[in-house]
């Protein structure tokens, strides 16, 4: 049974709020600037960062909890974004399915209680017993969406908030990426521009129209994820099959008569690896897409948003149809540095 997206909110370099980000991406405005951080060649690293005055304020009690700088920044990104998307929901603890960076990309000990800290930062009550985190990188939010659809199918009366948050404004993380020659710069062509962001959207069961606000008509028909052994850091042959396999899994769950995809919101970050994944998937599933399909890759505007990417792409795909831009369907996909590959299909 499909679910319906009833509300969303985003915070990233491209804007504060879904509408502002959609306008930025549609106009192809690049919100990327030279940062105050230098690479190993003493060139400033270009990044897509959120202005300081747009970040949320952390509770004073966090000062004594030993949170890493990256974790604090993610809480500042996620706090106001979750608060905005939850403001019109019924009072009571929320089930939150959240995508986060993988353990090797942040300080693991300070991430264990992230949802508790997020509840305090956002002033939104979170049901810790029914909430889940997915530490899977770029595909994390799509994996969270897949799990949320299963939960809603089992509990139709329940509302689930799905999201993702990440930041590359972390010196240790940037140093590792720089040593691997993965940051785009004057001496690195096959690299990406680091960014940051947070996005959340509300999912409700599509069979309960009385719970759906007027005007909302965007459904999530399905979501799927797989693990690809031929990943960026793997030893298995890199055949680019991960996304194509995820699409096989997705299409097996879809109802009959689904219209071909009219627009795709892609998880490209600028590296060649993603282009191979998409190329294989596009060729193997040629019948799934309209010949005149519109193709969007928001990283051109906001940089690589890491674990927030899947949620940001889903929000943009849903908003593009909600405001009448793409009337049939939108396909969303994202691939992590390591095994996870995720995708979803949205429809009016």
Q: Is residue 59's pLDDT more than 70? A: yes
Residues whose CB is less than 8 angstroms from the CB of residue 97 and which lie 6 or more positions away in sequence, other chains included: 131, 132, 134, 144, 145, 147, 148, 151, 160, 161, 162, 163
Convert the pLDDT of each residue in 77-100 to its tens digit: 999 999 999 998 888 899 999 999
Domain 3-210 shares a fold with domain 217-347: yes
Q: How far apart are CA 40 and CA 62, in angstroms?
A: 32
> pLDDT value at position 342?
97
331 contacts 343 by C-beta, under 8 angstroms: yes
Q: How many CA atoms lie within 13 A of 205 on its CB side?
A: 13
Residues whose CB is less than 8 angstroms from the CB of residue 237 and which lie 6 or more positions away in sequence, other chains included: 230
Percent helix, strand and coil across the chain, each to the nearest 5: 35, 30, 35
> pLDDT value at position 238?
81
Residues whose CB is less than 8 angstroms from the CB of residue 109 and which lie 6 or more positions away in sequence, other chains included: none
Q: Kindly report the pTM of this predicted structure.
A: 0.95
Convert the pLDDT of each residue in 272-317 to its tens digit: 999 999 999 999 999 999 998 999 999 999 999 999 999 999 999 9
> pLDDT value at position 206?
82
CATH code of the domain occupying 3-210? 3.40.47.10
Q: What's the CATH class of domain 217-347?
A: alpha beta
Residues whose CB is less than 8 angstroms from the CB of residue 66 and which lie 6 or more positions away in sequence, other chains included: 110
Token digits of residue 286? 């040629």
Arithmetic mean of pLDDT, 229-244: 88
**Structural domain boundaries in the chain:** 3-210, 217-347
């Amino acid at each position: 049974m499909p679910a319906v997206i009833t509300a969303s909110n985003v915070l990233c370099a491209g804007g504060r709020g879904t509408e502002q980000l959609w306008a930025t991406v549609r106009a192809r405005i690049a919100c990327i600037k030279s940062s105050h951080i230098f690479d190993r060649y003493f060139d400033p690293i270009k990044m897509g960062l959120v202005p300081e005055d747009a970040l949320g304020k952390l509770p004073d009690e966090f000062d004594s909890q030993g949170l890493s700088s990256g974790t604090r920044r993610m809480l500042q990104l996620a706090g106001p974004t979750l608060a905005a998307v939850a403001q019109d929901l019924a009072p009571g603890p929320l089930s939150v399915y959240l995508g986060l960076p993988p353990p090797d990309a942040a300080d693991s000990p300070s991430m264990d209680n992230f949802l508790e800290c997020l509840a305090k930062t956002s002033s939104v009550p979170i049901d810790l017993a029914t909430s889940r985190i997915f530490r899977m990188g770029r595909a994390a939010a799509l994996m969270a969406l897949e799990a949320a659809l299963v939960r809603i199918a089992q509990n139709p009366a329940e509302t689930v908030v799905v999201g993702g948050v990440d930041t590359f404004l972390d010196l240790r993380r940037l140093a590792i990426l720089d040593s691997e020659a993965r940051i785009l710069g004057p001496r690195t062509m096959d690299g990406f521009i680091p960014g940051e962001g947070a996005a959340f959207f509300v999912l409700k069961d599509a069979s309960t129209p009385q719970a759906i606000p007027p005007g909302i008509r965007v459904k999530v028909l399905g979501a799927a994820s797989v693990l690809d052994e031929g990943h960026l850091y793997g030893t298995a042959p890199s055949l680019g099959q991960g996304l194509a396999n995820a699409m096989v899994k997705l299409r097996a769950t879809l109802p009959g008569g689904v219209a071909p995809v009219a627009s795709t919101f892609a998880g490209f970050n600028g590296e060649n690896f993603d282009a191979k994944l998409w190329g294989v998937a596009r060729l193997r599933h040629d019948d799934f897409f309209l010949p005149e399909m519109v193709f969007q890759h928001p990283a051109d505007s906001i940089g690589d948003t890491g674990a927030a990417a899947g949620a940001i792409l889903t929000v943009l795909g849903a908003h593009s149809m909600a405001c009448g831009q793409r009337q049939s369907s939108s396909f969303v996909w994202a691939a992590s540095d390591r095994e996870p590959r995720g995708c979803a299909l949205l429809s009016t």
